């Protein structure tokens, strides 16, 4: 016993010494690690997460939601202003750091239904003859490449919403726009009616000024409130810290010149200190409102070069979201009571649709997330909202239910006709691409139902519900199919790691089937618009189940061994098996017909119920 206490005290002292050495008070003390052979890392999911795709890149037909049709889309930022969500992101035709570049903006009233993208910062022509220190090349018919770490600012006094961007210079795809040798930072007001103000420069890099740039300097504006807001931005170290890597190396308005961190975000502790986070495991603390920082590598944190996000949540807790592997999958959240020690790790995005358009530095996975920084709005639902890209191609938003937990409080007893929209489905986890959407719609039975629709040959709709871990489970649900000759619906009982032992399928050949090893049992044929009541009694002790579909009943073994169940999953396709750790990082390809829709398939879920078998 004394030896155990001594070991425990040694571990505590070790953590404390590491914390002192790193000059950061933040520590990740959980022992959970991800299995990178799975896109979801086999992590237990957070309860009630909604993943909503808002822009699907489409080179073949940009009218289908991705105007102007460019297929490198990345680095989104998010704000909430006057009852509306805003997301902006960087966009290039093919790949990262490859001119020309633009920034695009989308808006939403509810976080689920989004406008088509509009260009907020257009292409910018670099004057012919321009050179860049340390890089070979002379500009000739060359456009700038957009970059930003912060995309929005809501002014403190005038409560105006502004978009922020940065015009960088890249002579080659290996060149970087955020090396302090670009043109400068621009600002533009976003009005509530959708109109946008004039583009101004707010900060120049060395060698650039009003005489050799195409937009006016902000001080030339006759709008005194606008000039005042720009002055406030330049005087706020928590805003200009996010300009650090793009600004001149000795820019006096940028604090923390000794940090050299990338993609800064922060939150405030109860004692008034600020905790900052950057890429590559860097975190730190400031006691002077962000003017100076003490930083170091975060003990216990495992991540690579993608962004981290941290914030105070509406329940008084703290959360950090990041990719907990050297790859950019999966995406996970960890929670802390004091903002210093993080003790758990939960999945928030684990699906990776195939990359449809390869390009320079296009990494697989959900990545580069940003939430809403303090001052840029508070969403009234109390949940955590974030924006991010998948495969540096498509833009997504995420709603993480608060409090953040991986524990379902009770078994499921859902009559889905009571819901009017997805925002009310706080107990469900939703994965909803634009062409494979999840929504609440009226079913052929005349009542509202959870609709999983799918016209995407490379993606699927998914809805899952957690329940308390069960070794002897009763699951009942009702389904209506909208067709019999195409489309697929898989219903699975899974354990906490995402491994399934039981699968029922509405197959495109018109048959309801149950999976047994690599083969399937035919249960009954299904008809369009007819209600099918399915009951599963699953016993993980003998690894078998009894399945009843309407009047047809069979008993069979699990198709894969699991020792408990903790979620039910409805999915309009097969699981993603790629990427893996051995998937080539980059390629030169376009997936066949990736920009074309398939025939629409629809499946309506009317009710779901689970419980422990007596």
Q: What is the DSSP secondary-structure string of 37-84?
A: TSTTTTPPBPTTEEEEEEE---SS-TTTTTTT--SEEEEEEEEEETTE
Q: Does 33 reside within a domain?
A: no
More confident residue, 23 or 576: 576
pLDDT digits (tens, 9 = 90+) for 316-326: 999 999 999 99
Q: Say yes or no: 58 and 112 in one domain.
A: yes
Rounded to an integer, what is the distance from CA 86 to the centroid of its chain?
Answer: 15
The reply to whether 81 and 221 lie within a common domain is yes
Residues 417 and 302 in one domain: no
In a domain, 1, yes or no: no
* CA–CA gap between residue 432 and residue 53 (Å, rounded): 6
- Report the C-alpha gap between 8 and 67 in whole angstroms: 57
Are residues 358 and 507 both part of a single domain?
no
| Overall average pLDDT of the 326-338 stretch | 97
Instruction: Give the range of the structural domain holding residue 98, as residue numbers without chain letter.
Output: 50-400
- Name the pTM for this structure: 0.95
**What's the pLDDT at 2?**
59
Give the mean pLDDT of 515-538.
Answer: 97
Of the residues 352, 377, 400, the one at which a domain ends: 400
pLDDT tens-digit map of 528-545:
999 999 999 999 999 999
Residue 6 scores a pLDDT above 60: no
- Provide long-range contacts, Cβ within 8 A and 24+ apart, for 418-421: 418/448, 419/448, 419/450, 420/448, 421/110, 421/112
- 27-28 and 341-342 as β-strands: parallel, antiparallel, unpaired? parallel
Number of domains in the chain: 2
Domain shared by 183 and 220, yes or no: yes
Looking up tokens 């048959």, which residue turns up? 511
Whether the CB-CB separation of 447 and 415 falls below 8 Å is answered with no
**Whether 366 and 463 share a structural domain:** no
Output the pLDDT for position 255: 87
CATH code, domain with 562: 2.60.120.200
Residue 21 confidence (pLDDT) above 60: no
Distance CA 492, CA 608 (A): 13
* Tens-place pLDDT, residues 393-446: 999 999 999 999 999 999 999 999 999 999 999 999 999 999 999 999 999 999
Mean pLDDT of 165-170: 98
- How many CB atoms sit inside 10 A of residue 306's CB? 23
Assess if residue 14 is contained within a domain. no
Whole-angstrom distance, CA of residue 209 vs CA of residue 184: 9
Peptide bond between residue 403 and the one before it cis (omega within 30 degrees of 0): yes
pLDDT of residue 258: 72
List, in sequence order, the alpha helices (H) in 211-317.
224-235, 237-240
Q: Flag whether 25 is in a domain.
A: no
Contact 330, 43 (CB under 8 A): yes
Are 537 and 613 contacting, i.e. CB atoms less than 8 angstroms apart? yes
Residue 87 has pLDDT above 80, yes or no: yes
With pLDDT > 90 as the criterion, what percentage of the chain qualifies?
Answer: 91
Cβ atoms of residues 487 and 558 within 8 Å: no
Q: Is residue 5, in this structure, part of any structural domain at all? A: no
- pLDDT (average), residues 176-196: 96
Q: Strands 49-55 and 394-400: what pairing? A: antiparallel
pLDDT value, residue 480: 98
- Asked if the structure places residue 115 within a domain, the reply is yes
Shared domain for 148 and 278, answered yes or no, is yes
pLDDT surpasses 70 at 259: yes
> Within this chain, do residues 99 and 208 fall inside the same structural domain, yes or no?
yes
pLDDT for residue 17: 42
Q: Are 122 and 102 in contact (CB under 8 A)?
A: yes
- My answer on whether 447 and 526 are in the same domain is yes
Mean pLDDT taken over the chain: 94
Task: Tell whether 55 is covered by a domain.
Answer: yes
In a domain, 435, yes or no: yes
Domain's final residue, options 366, 400, 434 = 400
| Same domain, residue pair 94 and 178 | yes
Burial 337-367 (b: 16+ CB within 10 A, else e): eebbbbebbbbbbbbbbebbbbbbebbbbbb
Q: What does the pLDDT read at residue 5? A: 55
Q: Looking at the structure, tell me whether residues 392 and 420 fall in a common domain.
A: no
CATH code, domain carrying 287: 2.120.10.10
Q: What is the pLDDT of residues 191-205, one digit of tens each?
A: 999 899 999 999 999
Q: Do 388 and 463 have their domain in common?
A: no
Question: Which of 376, 400, 424 is the last residue before a domain boundary?
Answer: 400
């Amino acid at each position: 016993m004394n030896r155990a206490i001594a070991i425990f005290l040694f571990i505590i002292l070790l953590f404390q010494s590491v914390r002192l050495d790193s000059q950061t008070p933040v520590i990740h003390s959980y022992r959970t690690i991800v299995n990178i052979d799975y896109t979801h890392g086999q992590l237990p999911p957070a309860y009630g997460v909604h993943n909503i795709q808002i822009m699907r890149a489409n080179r073949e037909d940009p009218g289908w939601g991705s105007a102007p049709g460019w297929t490198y889309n990345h680095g989104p930022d998010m704000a909430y202003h006057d009852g509306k969500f805003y997301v902006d992101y960087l966009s290039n035709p093919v790949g990262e750091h490859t001119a020309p570049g633009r920034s695009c903006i989308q808006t939403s009233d509810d976080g689920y239904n989004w406008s088509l993208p509009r260009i907020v910062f257009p292409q910018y022509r670099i004057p012919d003859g321009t050179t860049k220190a340390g890089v070979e090349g002379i500009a000739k018919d060359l456009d700038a490449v957009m970059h930003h770490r912060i995309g929005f600012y809501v002014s403190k006094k005038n409560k105006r919403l502004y978009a922020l961007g940065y015009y960088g210079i890249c002579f080659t795809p290996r060149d970087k726009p955020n090396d302090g040798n670009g043109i400068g930072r621009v600002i533009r007001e976003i009005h509530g009616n959708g109109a946008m103000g004039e583009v101004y420069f707010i900060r120049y890099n060395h060698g650039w000024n009003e005489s050799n740039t195409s937009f006016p300097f902000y001080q030339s504006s006759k709008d005194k409130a606008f000039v005042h807001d720009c002055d406030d931005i330049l005087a706020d170290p928590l805003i200009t810290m996010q300009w650090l890597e793009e600004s001149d190396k000795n820019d006096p308005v940028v604090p923390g010149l000794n940090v050299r961190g990338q993609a800064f975000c922060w939150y405030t502790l109860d004692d008034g200190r600020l905790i900052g986070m950057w890429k590559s495991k860097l975190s730190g603390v400031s006691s002077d409102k962000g003017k100076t920082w003490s930083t170091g590598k975060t003990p216990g944190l495992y991540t690579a070069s993608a962004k981290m996000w941290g914030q105070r949540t509406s329940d008084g807790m703290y959360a950090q979201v990041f990719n907990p592997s050297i790859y950019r999958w999966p995406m996970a959240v960890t929670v802390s009571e004091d903002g210093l020690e993080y003790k758990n790790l939960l999945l928030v995005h684990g699906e990776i649709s195939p990359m449809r358009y390869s390009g320079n530095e296009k990494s697989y996975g959900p990545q580069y997330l940003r939430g809403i920084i303090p001052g840029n709005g508070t969403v009234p639902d109390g949940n955590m909202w974030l924006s991010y890209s998948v495969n540096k191609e498509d833009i997504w938003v995420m709603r993480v239910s608060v409090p953040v937990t991986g524990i379902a409080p009770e078994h499921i007893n859902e009559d889905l006709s009571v819901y009017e929209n997805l925002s009310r489905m706080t107990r469900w986890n939703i994965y909803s691409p634009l062409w494979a959407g999840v929504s609440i719609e009226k079913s052929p039975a005349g009542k509202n139902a959870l609709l999983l629709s799918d016209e995407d040959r490379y993606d699927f709709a998914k809805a899952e519900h957690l329940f308390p871990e069960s070794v002897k489970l009763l699951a009942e649900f009702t389904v209506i199919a909208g067709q019999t000759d195409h489309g697929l619906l898989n219903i699975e009982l899974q354990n906490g790691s995402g491994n399934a032992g039981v699968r029922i399928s509405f197959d495109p050949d018109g048959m309801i089937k149950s999976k047994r090893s690599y083969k399937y049992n035919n249960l009954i044929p299904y008809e369009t618009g007819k209600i099918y009541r399915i009951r599963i009694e699953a016993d993980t002790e003998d690894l078998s189940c009894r399945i009843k579909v309407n009047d047809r009943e069979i008993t069979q073994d699990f198709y894969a061994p699991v020792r408990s169940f903790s979620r039910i999953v409805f999915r309009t396709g097969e699981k993603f098996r790629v990427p893996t750790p051995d998937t080539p990082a980059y390629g030169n390809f376009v997936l066949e017909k990736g920009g074309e829709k398939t025939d629409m398939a629809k499946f309506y879920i009317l009710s779901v119920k689970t419980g422990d078998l007596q």
